[in-house]
Each structure stands twice: as structure tokens, then as C-alpha cells.
Amino acid sequence: MEEILESGKVKDFKALFLKQKEKNNEFEGQIKNAFSKIKELENISKRTIQKIGIVRFNPFNEMGGNQSFVIALLDDKNNGFVISSLFVKDGNRVYAKNIKQGKSDHLLSKEEVEAINRAISSKQ
């Protein structure tokens, strides 16, 4: 009500309208900027790791425990990589393989395939 009345008199509605229009234009610019940033973040998020699949296993029956593992890390389009860690008596071996659309140019072990499939199905 204060914006309409000034010292008990009615303000100039034209000036009041123009002031409000200016505020609306400013808010529209801010909203457009916010939507632009949201779209940019959506595009960036598609390229980030969103899906993770882990499989623990024992590659050698004579050794105890599932100390070896495979982890698949994928983005929204199932691109990423798998890391395999094989625990053996004399040390640890680590391998990495690129994944494009859920597949690899390299031969994948059954555990690597399982980790990829778990990652793909992990995001609803």
C-alpha cells in the first residue's frame, strides 16, 4: 500500500507501472541466466561418473578370500573405464580398460562384464 500512496496522496501510476516493469525485466534476465546455468550443469553432469559397479572375487581357488576386485565407473552414456585389481601371492596387479557405450575394445573378464552390468543397472 505504501507504494501506491505517497504522503497520503495517490502516486503517479505511470511511474509506478514503469518501475515495476523495470523490476520484471531484471527478474526475467536473472531467470534466463539461471536456466542457462542449469542447462550447462545438466550437460556437464552427463559426462561425469554416475554409475558404479563393483565385483569382488577370488581368481585362484587355492588362495583364501575375495581380495581381488573390479570396479566399473561409467557416465550417463555408459562411457568410462573398469579397473581390475588381481591379488596374487607375490603382489598385486592392476589393469584399466576403456569402456564406450558399455563395451570395450579389449577382452573383458566375466567379472569385468559383471561390474559393467551392475554399473549400468545401478542408476534408475
**Domain range enclosing 106:** 51-122
- 20 and 71 belong to one structural domain: no
Same domain, 19 and 69: no
pLDDT per residue rounded down to tens, the chain (124 residues): 455 555 555 667 777 788 889 999 999 999 999 999 999 999 998 889 999 999 999 877 765 678 899 999 999 999 999 999 998 778 889 999 999 999 999 999 999 999 999 999 986 5
> What pLDDT was estimated at residue 51?
95
> In terms of domains, do 73 and 106 share one?
yes
In a domain, 64, yes or no: yes
pLDDT of residue 117: 96
pLDDT of residue 1: 46
| C-beta separation of 3 from 16 below 8 A | yes
The per-residue pLDDT for 122 is: 86
Residues 18 and 35 in one domain: yes
**pLDDT value at residue 24:** 95
Domains held by the chain: number? 2
In a domain, 117, yes or no: yes
Instruction: Quickly list H helices, 4-123.
Output: 13-46, 110-122
Question: Considering the domain boundaries, does residue 73 fall inside one?
Answer: yes
Same domain, 118 and 79: yes
| Cα–Cα distance, 74 to 65 (Å, whole number) | 27
